[in-house]
Each structure stands twice: as structure tokens, then as C-alpha cells.
Structure 1
Amino acid sequence: MSSDDLFKILKADGWELDRTKGSHHIFKHPEKKGIVVLPHPRKDIPKGTENSILKQAGLN
């Protein structure tokens, strides 16, 4: 899965881009706790990293 696909999934769930640090986009959710860090732009994100990002977002 690409970082663009994960970006769209996070945005659809209500996550908002809080800030960018280098090649990493940091998202916050208005209701959920914590942050989600997404390496961007990447064409292929490893499956383990993808699962970890989705788990952090509460979308597993």
C-alpha cells in the first residue's frame, strides 16, 4: 500500500494533518488520543509498518 492510500484512509476517518517534520506527516484526531506518523511520500510501505499505522489510528 502506498502512503497516499494510507493518507486517504486516515483523512476519511477524521485524522487531520497536524505538522510535517522532514518526510514524515504527523496526524492528530479531534476525538481519539495519540498521534499517527506517516512516512510520506513512499510508494510502497512495508506490511508491518502499514499494520502498525492502522493500529495506532484504531483502524485494525
Structure 2
Amino acid sequence: MSNLEKQLNKIKKSYFSFADLRKISLLDDAGLRVAISRLVKAEKLYKIYKGYYCLDKSRVDL
């Protein structure tokens, strides 16, 4: 489990914007985009809209 994933699990939000992820991460923008992409490919993070992500699709009303 990556550090970013551990930090996301601690936060009780149903979705995150890229700006939210930037605030909780120690990565620069390019590194954060790579980390997000890897989590999305591993299906541990779901892209719900451009720049918005969630951990559990069932908790988000679209």
C-alpha cells in the first residue's frame, strides 16, 4: 500500500480533487499524477470526472 493510499484512507471524504490530493501528498505535480495513474490502473482509486477521484464508487452520487 502506497503512502498516498494510506493518507487517503485516513480522510473521511467520499471524493477528492487533484488540489486535495496535492495538499495531503508530499509529491510534486508530475509525481502525483503518476501516483494517481498507478492507483487508478490498480483499481484502488476511481476517476469520477476530470481531476476528481474516489476510493469507493458506491459512496458518491453522480
What is the TM-score when the length of structure 2 is the normalising length? 0.30
Q: Going by fraction, where is strand more abundant, 1 or 2? A: 1
Q: Going by fraction, where is helix more abundant, 1 or 2? A: 2
What is the TM-score when the length of structure 1 is the normalising length? 0.30
